Structure 1
Amino acid sequence: MKPDFIIKKLDLSKIYVLSLLYDLFLVIYSFGIRLVSTWNKKAKLWLKGRENFFENLRNTYTVGPNKKVWMHCSSLGEFEQGRPVLKKLMENDPGISVVITFFSPSGYEIARNDKDFRQVYYMPMDSLLNAKKLLDILKPDIVLWVKYEYWHYYLQEIKKRKIPLLLISGVYQQNQVFFKWYGSFYRKMLECFTHFFVQNVSSKDQLQKLIAGEKITVSGDTRCDRVINIAENFTEVDGIANFCANKKVIVAGSTWEDDEAEWTHFVKTHPEIKFIIAPHEIDDENLTDIKKEFPGSIFYSEWMEKQVPGDNTLNCLIIDNIGKLSRLYKYATITYVGGGFAYNGLHNILEAAVYGKPVIFGPEYEKNFEAEELIDCSGAISIENALELEKVVNGLLDNEEEITSRGTAAKNYIYSNAGASKKIIEYIQENRLLIS
């Protein structure tokens, strides 16, 4: 058996090597982004958003009379999880200053147009210098980190400055790097957090292998609070009711090419049903390809100019802009959520479930525990291929009672998991993290 000092020395050596590999990864990533940006729109936005970053931040960052909150999100999904927490904080104290940073363009582009949040920025690439400069400018009193992304230098600098750091809507599984034999470098990042708010009990059980249980709270998913708020304050989407024309409606949201391929035959052979497709990617090339696959289709922008209710030649509406999907599911008889045929996995199914509609998706949902729970409570159905999809959809359309019962189960699941934001706010208040 090795003496403790030898074991500690070996661990430190391993962390040092992994730290060097991490720095190498950052260099390669930066180089790769620049290379990909020559043809990729998102990569171009990623670079453009970081040009003259600190100069722009110094010129635009303003603070109110009270405490300062910094929330970091990877992308749009994480923003939707963090948003209800920020909204409650701002309602409780209108004088607080809120700044939001993003790693991905998809989240940034949506959030910067959100009237509730005025200070939205990209996060500079992780480095010791960038971390120091950013924190010197922001001087946050509390930092909220949403679900994913662990940036070593930022987290270490926050810890060094003794700023309360909360992780919200966390999910932890055995296959994550923290729990691997080579994960010591990433385990050090977990030690930077003051408290963890995780989505389910299994996440707490897993995280407790590394972190003391008193630092972990099972709060649920803050997205439930978000989708409930959207549903309960629903506003009509212009032109959609006219398109649906009191027919049975299937809304397919956040679709990729593989998802759309599963629907092609069914849409062509069921002209009596209205279909609304909201692709995940809305660049011109992708939209043109989708329109070719569905002959009786029209873009939403075209429909808004035309709007001829009762036009039986059109049964498929392709949404060619962003920001409407969370309300489109309201019009559905049956919903379908994309991403379940891709490696990255399923998109947000809670947006559809909250309206009390059955949810269908593909087989790749292992990263989404809520998908498993919705299946278990009969609120959702997973399909493997187009034949199974058509069988499931036809079965539902022929059975109104099943549509109702599955929809009710889906809605009940959302409401039974509400309240995550409240638990986080209560922790902040009880620990006086935003009290002057």
Structure 2
Amino acid sequence: MSSPSPLLSALLDLGYLAAAVAASPWILWRVATDARARTGLRERLGFPHRRAPIRPALWMHAVSVGEVQTGLPLLEAFQAAHPDWDRVLSTTTVTGQTVARSRRPDDRVVYFPLDWSGSVARAHDRLRPSAIVTVELELWPNFFLEAERRGIPLLIVNGRITERSVRRFRRLGPLVRRALRGVAAVCAQGSDHAERFRSLGVPPDRVQVTGNMKFDGAPRPSADPYAEPFVRRLGLRPGGTLWVGGSTHAPEEEILARVHAAVKTSRPGLRLVLVPRHPERADEVVKGVAAQGHRCYKSSLLTAASEPPQDLDDAVVVVDTVGELRKLYGVASLAFVGGSLVPHGGQNMLEPAAVGCPALFGPSVGNFRDIAEALTAAGAARIVPDAEALREAVAGLLARRDRLREMGEAGRRVVEEGRGATRRNLAVLEQAIAMGGTPPTPRSRHPDPFS
């Protein structure tokens, strides 16, 4: 296969430039007013600190928190099999960086470069990867083309793509098809995703179904979930009744607060903890919940306080830190998984199921359709089409402890039976490395002022 023409990257850069100029007022406003938009700017422009090319390196890219957690089992398995390799983990979001740095303190953690050809080439020059893995769907054409030019095997693992994304990528025509033509392998979650990748131009013999690594990344039940300091600081105790709104999006928090008020009239002592998908929304969520008459506290205030507030048992808690949701699922009687009563596509409902917490979610689950169908078919979860159905489900299930227990056990079985994709993906990755060898790194065509 011939190396990609530089003309392809030039065309992509022109397209990005046109989009940047059109959006420049918004971009400038966001950079000026939002510190997150300035975070990691040097790395995003292709200037991470140089990695000494003494050892080969695996570069894994995971856009945000969910993808980081999904990819970590593979990174850990690769480290165990290849301790002589360095590891680079990149993210796009600030929250993803926080989790990546916390979970992988010995790895190089960086921000992913913008998909300009210069930024991508400089990042390659500085990090010198020997193999690249992208988690789920991170299709950046210049990045893919640069890896192909350098002879670096690039794999998509836990690959998933919706019909909507396929239609969007098809608008870019041959550019996307050419970028995907050089992919070493696609490890798809299911046969429908595999077929969509083939339709976009991935050679059919490089696409295979290996399953969903989210099953492998799902937590194991803790022997004593109430021993977690975070859980204790929120005043959660054995024998209490807690339901959790996990990874919620606006206006789901206010819907859950209304449901909580209605159900609590017949269940005094019921607690609700809300965990917004984006913790920076915590102040907005607290304001909206308090406007409905609830006492409301941010979790960071509770963990910092020397003594808990006296009215904590009657208050709604909003979690404004990262990495706490799994701990809460472990002590919850019931969970609502967000991004599903709004047209977002849902969030990971395996996390509550893995620790035996029954799950409710709305009809918008396109990002997790296979998982949602498996859980509902097993009786481990229910779909609630609207706020009234959610109220009826919460009230009905909390009144039936035996049913909650059955749903929790069914969820654990589904998760355990679904594990194994990480092992299969590791085998594909090792095969791609063996076939490609350790590639040389050609000198970038783009100057590096930090050399």
TM-score for the superposition, normalised by structure 1: 0.85
Shift of 1:204: 1.7
323-332 or 394-403, larger mean C-alpha shift: 394-403
Q: Percent identity?
A: 21
How has the CA–CA distance of structure 1 residues 414 and 294 changed in structure 2, closer, same or farther, with 3 Å as cutoff?
farther
**Among 275, 280, 286, the residue aligned to 2:277:** 280
Question: What are the equivalent positions in structure 2 for 1:38-49 lying under 5 Å apart?
Answer: 38-39=32-33, 41=34, 44-49=35-40
Query: SS where residue 48 of structure 2 aligns?
Result: helix
Shift of 1:27: 4.9
Residues 334 and 357, structure 2, Cα contact 8 Å, conserved in 1? yes
Residues 97 and 111, structure 2, Cα contact 8 Å, conserved in 1? yes
Residues 299 and 319, structure 1, Cα contact 8 Å, conserved in 2? yes
Match of 2:441 in 1: none
CA distance in 2, matches of 1:312, 1:288: 14
110-119 or 145-154, larger mean C-alpha shift: 110-119
Shift of 1:410: 1.8
Task: Specify which structure has the bigger relative contact order, considering alpha-carbon pairs within 8 angstroms and separated by 6 or more residues.
Answer: 2
CA distance in 2, matches of 1:15, 1:158: 12
Match of 1:3 in 2: none
Q: Tell me the C-alpha RMSD between the 2 structures.
A: 3.2
For 1:366, the aligned partner's letter is: G
Deviation digits for residues 256-310 of structure 1 (CA, Å, limit 9, x no counterpart): 2311122223322413212222222333632541451462433323434365699
**Among 91, 101, 116, the residue aligned to 1:127:** 116
CA distance in 2, matches of 1:192, 1:153: 12
389-398 or 234-243, larger mean C-alpha shift: 234-243
How has the CA–CA distance of structure 1 residues 121 and 14 changed in structure 2, closer, same or farther, with 3 Å as cutoff?
closer
Match of 1:260 in 2: 253
CA distance in 1, matches of 2:9, 2:130: 29
Residues 230 and 326, structure 1, Cα contact 8 Å, conserved in 2? no
Match of 2:445 in 1: none
Q: Does 1:151 align with 2:140?
A: yes
Q: Does 1:199 align with 2:189?
A: yes
Shift of 1:196: 0.3
Query: SS where residue 41 of structure 2 aligns?
Result: coil
CA distance in 1, matches of 2:418, 2:88: 27
Shift of 1:142: 0.3
Query: SS where residue 132 of structure 1 aligns?
Result: helix
Shift of 1:248: 1.6
Query: SS where residue 336 of structure 2 aligns?
Result: strand
Match of 2:298 in 1: 299
Question: What are the equivalent positions in structure 2 for 1:99-178 lying under 5 Å apart?
Answer: 99-175=88-164, 176-177=166-167
Residues 26 and 126, structure 1, Cα contact 8 Å, conserved in 2? no
How has the CA–CA distance of structure 1 residues 98 and 89 changed in structure 2, closer, same or farther, with 3 Å as cutoff?
same
Shift of 1:84: 1.3
Match of 2:360 in 1: 360
Residues 294 and 315, structure 2, Cα contact 8 Å, conserved in 1? no
Shift of 1:355: 0.8
Match of 1:335 in 2: 335
177-186 or 276-285, larger mean C-alpha shift: 177-186
Match of 1:289 in 2: 287
303-312 or 132-141, larger mean C-alpha shift: 303-312
**Among 200, 204, 210, the residue aligned to 1:219:** 210
Match of 1:250 in 2: 243
Deviation digits for residues 326-355 of structure 1 (CA, Å, limit 9, x no counterpart): 221000111111111333331221211111
Match of 1:92 in 2: 81
How has the CA–CA distance of structure 1 residues 281 and 226 changed in structure 2, closer, same or farther, with 3 Å as cutoff?
same
Unpaired segments ≥5 residues, structure 1: 1-12
Match of 1:395 in 2: 396
Residues 65 and 96, structure 1, Cα contact 8 Å, conserved in 2? no
For 1:316, the aligned partner's letter is: V
CA distance in 2, matches of 1:352, 1:331: 10
Match of 1:33 in 2: 27
